[in-house]
Amino acid sequence: MADLTTKLLGLTLAHPVMPAAGPPVRDGEALLACAKGGAAALVTKTISVKAADVPTPNMADFKTYFLNTELWTELPPEQWLEVEYAKAKQAGLPMIISMGYTAEEIAEMAPKVKPFADAIELSTHYIADDPKPMQDAIRAAKVAGVPVLVKMSPFREPQPAAIAAQEAGADGIVAVNSYGPAFGVDIEHGGKLWMGGKGYGWISGPALKPIALRMVYDIAQVVDIPIIGVGGISKGTDVVEFLMAGATAVGVCTAAITKGHSIFGKIARQLDRWLDQHGYASVEEIRGLALKHDVPQMTKPPILVPERCTGCNQCVISCVYGALYLDENRKIRIHEENCEKCGLCISRCPVNALLPPEE
In terms of Cα–Cα distance, which of 11, 4, 12 is closest to 287?
4
pLDDT at 171 > cutoff 90: yes
Write the CA distances from 118 to 43, 111, 115, integer angstroms.
10, 13, 9
For residue 192, pLDDT over 70 is answered with: yes
Q: d(Cα 42, Cα 11) in Å, to the nearest integer?
A: 12
pLDDT at site 77? 94
C-alpha span between 160 and 3 (Å, rounded): 34
Q: What is the pLDDT of residues 343-356, one digit of tens each?
A: 999 999 999 999 99
Q: What is the mean pLDDT of residues 231-240?
A: 98
Strand (E) or helix (H) holding 251 = strand 249-252
- The pLDDT score that the predictor gives to residue 129 is 77
Do the domains 6-292 and 303-355 sit in the same CATH topology, yes or no? no
Average model confidence (pLDDT) across the chain: 95
Which burial class, exposed, middle or buried, applies to 181 when counting CB atoms under 10 A from its CB (0-12, 13-18, 19+)?
A: middle
Q: pLDDT digit string (tens) for 127-144?
A: 677 889 999 999 999 999
What pLDDT is stored for residue 341 in this prediction?
Answer: 97
Burial class (CB in 10 A: 0-12, 13-18, 19+), 82: exposed
Sheet holding 42-43, edge to edge: 17-19, 249-252, 227-230, 172-175, 148-152, 119-123, 95-99, 42-43
pLDDT at residue 358 above 90? Answer: no
Q: Give the burial class of 85: count Cβ atoms within 10 A of its Cβ; 0-12 exposed, 13-18 middle, 19 or more buried.
A: buried
- φ and ψ at residue 252, rounded to 5 degrees: -120, 125
Confidence of residue 155 (pLDDT cuts 50, 70, 90): confident
Q: Among 252, 346, 254, which Cα is nearest to 59's?
A: 254
Rounded to the nearest 5°, which phi and psi values hold at 66? Answer: -135, 135
Q: Where are the domains of the chain?
A: 6-292, 303-355
Q: Angle at the Cα of 254 (from 192 to 275), degrees rounded to 5?
A: 150
313-330 per-position pLDDT tens digit: 999 999 999 999 999 999
Assess whether the previous peptide bond of 181 is cis (omega < 30° from 0).
Answer: yes
Q: With 90 as the cut, is the pLDDT of residue 70 above it? A: no
pLDDT, tens only, 275-287: 999 999 999 999 9
pLDDT for 126: 67
Positive/negative CA dihedral, 131, 132, 137, 140: positive
- Dist. CA 247–CA 9, nearest whole Å: 13
Q: Which fold has domain 303-355?
A: Alpha-Beta Plaits (3.30.70)
6-292: which CATH architecture?
A: Alpha-Beta Barrel (3.20)
pLDDT tens for each residue of 76-98: 999 999 999 999 999 999 999 99
- Give the pLDDT mean for 292-306: 94
Largest CA distance in the chain: 74
The pTM is what? 0.94
Over the stretch 214-230, which tens digit does the pLDDT of each residue have?
999 999 999 999 999 99
